[in-house]
Amino acid sequence: MDGFEFLVVGGGIAGLSAAIRLAGRGRVLVVTKDALAESNTAYAQGGIAVAMGGDEDVSLHLSDTVAAGDGLVNRQAAKMLVEQGPKRVDELLAWGTGFDRGAAGELLRTREGAHSLSRILHANGDATGREIARSLLKHARGIPVITLMEDTTTVELTVEEGRVVGALLLGADGKLFSVRVRAVLLASGGAGQVYSDTTNPAVATGDGIAMAYRAGAELEDMEFYQFHPTAFAKEGAPRFLMSEALRGEGAWLVNAAGERFMSRYHPQLELAPRDVVARAITREGLAGPVYLDMRHVEIDLAARFPGISAFLAKYGLKLNRDLIPVRPAAHYLMGGIKTDLHGRTSVPGLFAAGEAACTGVHGANRLASNSLLEGLVFGASAAETMAEEQGAGTQDKGVGKTAPPVPVDPAALEVWIAKLRKLMWEDAGLLRDGDGLRRAQGRLDGMIRGCPRGVTRREVEARNLLTVASVMVESALGREESRGAHYRSDFTGHWPVAKHSVMAKGRLRFQ
């Protein structure tokens, strides 16, 4: 393998948009542990929030983002997000992204929870993320200096004299090899697989966050995990996402008695912030199932939501005919690797963007459909800074060697992972308290002895899940209040002043 100037870990919207920009400054290696099309980006249904209606729309988008974040949003980051968003989306359009349009060719927009107006662009009805991923990947493949490497697991970052200079990788052939570069970007996505119930794909195991932490990088706001209110809730079925766009098009939430209930929880009803809706569904669910009801909505639902409709058809359900059972599931991590607005972490040579990073743009609760825009805006910003600040290090050819065999029972490994995910759901999930969090902490500490030591992809993922879970629990214990997505039944009030939580070298502090 020839030398590279830049390594990008992750092939979603943040990673690919960064790689495209880095290509003008040197050779770029993009690695993903699965197929390039398999990322959280590809699973995003609802759309991308962007203020393309002028200055007033930009101002309202900023206000909505800050309000949803429940007092913890980094206003500078949010301002950058909403102001640069239109330009970045124009680039997507130029690269061939096919957003849905009306009869006159105008971009169609919808509304989602906590947005003051309709500003959500969508593609193929409910497959926005997959269309964006397709167009970015096609564009990246056309750039000769970008090398895309699938089925390649990043095992660990390489740190020399306090600087990240590369990474140890595991190829599809089972061989380890090192790559030495001038800068590394972690755009490896979130960590939904830390919970037993999640809308995230199997690849979302918090790899970049865990590796950065072990390399000495600070993590921020790890207690804030967003639980999407409406995941499909049929026994034995996957927690398939029932997009917020369904509620944007008029869906109601009804309880087991057939009553609409959101008026008891928030004046915006079904379009309240996600944390409010998720807790409301959980409370109403104590008395029986909760449903999405679209039987009164007059648009062509099968045409507007073809992916969701096809999924429901497998279970004999139709949006315009049936009540759809839903309940919350782990969806998005607001925290992550602490960065500035340009992707810089606390470790030289290491950058992060997208869901793996934390600029503070989402605060305690992400505004619906801001995630794709975050990856686009901050992926580009990180790339520009990496290109400007690239070090004078040399690039070398990685030497392949077979990973040393470590006996592992695949079945036992899956049991170990399932145990971790179950305890996190039970004791560190949507509703938390000190007793449950301390119990989770003790159980996670007890799992360290059985933690797998090998370097297969699954063993690497297991170690990363344990690292991320432990940090999340410690952060949740440290925040003795309820704010946004972090709700503690033993501390239901707010602190007088919102503070960010930072994990640094195993110690939790607030700033």
Host H or E run for residue 486: none
Could you read off the pLDDT tens digit of each residue along the chain, which spans 511 residues? Answer: 458 999 999 999 999 999 999 998 999 999 999 998 788 788 888 799 999 888 889 999 999 999 999 999 999 999 999 999 999 999 999 999 999 999 999 999 998 888 999 999 999 988 899 999 999 999 999 999 999 999 999 999 999 999 999 999 999 999 999 999 999 999 999 999 999 999 999 999 999 999 999 999 999 999 999 999 999 999 999 999 999 999 999 999 999 999 999 999 999 999 999 899 999 999 999 999 999 999 999 999 999 999 999 999 999 999 999 999 999 999 999 999 999 999 999 999 999 999 999 999 999 999 989 999 999 999 999 999 999 987 544 445 455 666 666 778 899 999 999 999 999 999 999 999 999 999 999 999 999 988 998 999 999 999 999 999 999 999 999 999 999 999 999 999 999 999 999 999 878 999 8
Residue of 372, 355, 16, 17 lying closest to 203 (CA atoms): 355
- What pLDDT, on a 0 to 100 scale, did the predictor assign at position 400? 62
Distances (CA, A) of 155 to 4, 52, 202, 215, 461: 18, 41, 17, 12, 9
The whole-angstrom separation of Cα 464 and Cα 457 is: 11
- What pLDDT, on a 0 to 100 scale, did the predictor assign at position 395? 47
Judged by DSSP in three states, 213 sits in: helix
The whole-angstrom separation of Cα 307 and Cα 242 is: 10
Q: Which pair of tokens denotes residue 102?
A: 């009306």
3-state DSSP of 91-130? HHHHCCCCCCECCCCCECEECCCCCCCCCEECCCCCCHHH
Q: Which residues make Cβ contacts (< 8 Å) with residue 38, sequence separation at least 6?
A: 32, 201, 203
Q: Which residues make Cβ contacts (< 8 Å) with residue 165, sequence separation at least 6?
A: 158, 159, 180, 181, 349, 393
Domains of the chain from N-terminus onward = 1-224+334-403 (3.50.50.60), 229-328 (3.90.700.10), 404-490 (1.20.58.100)
- What pLDDT, on a 0 to 100 scale, did the predictor assign at position 191? 98
Q: How many residues does the chain have?
A: 511
The whole-angstrom separation of Cα 326 and Cα 247 is: 12
Q: In what order do the strands lie in the sheet with 120-121?
A: 48-49, 120-121, 109-110
How would you classify residue 166: left for phi > 0, otherwise alpha for psi between -120 and 50, otherwise beta?
Answer: left
Could you tell me how far CA 101 lies from the centroid of its own chain?
27
Please list the active-site residues. 274
Distances (CA, A) of 269 to 55, 175, 253, 260, 261: 28, 53, 9, 9, 8
The whole-angstrom separation of Cα 249 and Cα 243 is: 10
Q: Which pair of tokens denotes residue 51?
A: 């203020």
How would you classify residue 124: left for phi > 0, otherwise alpha for psi between -120 and 50, otherwise beta?
Answer: left
- What pLDDT, on a 0 to 100 scale, did the predictor assign at position 53? 83
Scored b (16 or more CB within 10 A) or e, 120-140 reads bbbbebbbbbbbbbbbbbebb
The whole-angstrom separation of Cα 61 and Cα 51 is: 6
- What pLDDT, on a 0 to 100 scale, did the predictor assign at position 442? 97
Partners of 252 in the beta sheet? 293
Partners of 183 in the beta sheet? 6
Say if CB 29 and CB 3 are below 8 A apart: no
Partners of 179 in the beta sheet? 167
Could you tell me how far CA 428 lies from the centroid of its own chain?
18
The whole-angstrom separation of Cα 400 and Cα 39 is: 27
Can you tell me which residue has the tokens 């766009």? 245
Say if CB 121 and CB 176 are below 8 A apart: no
Type of residue found at 346? S
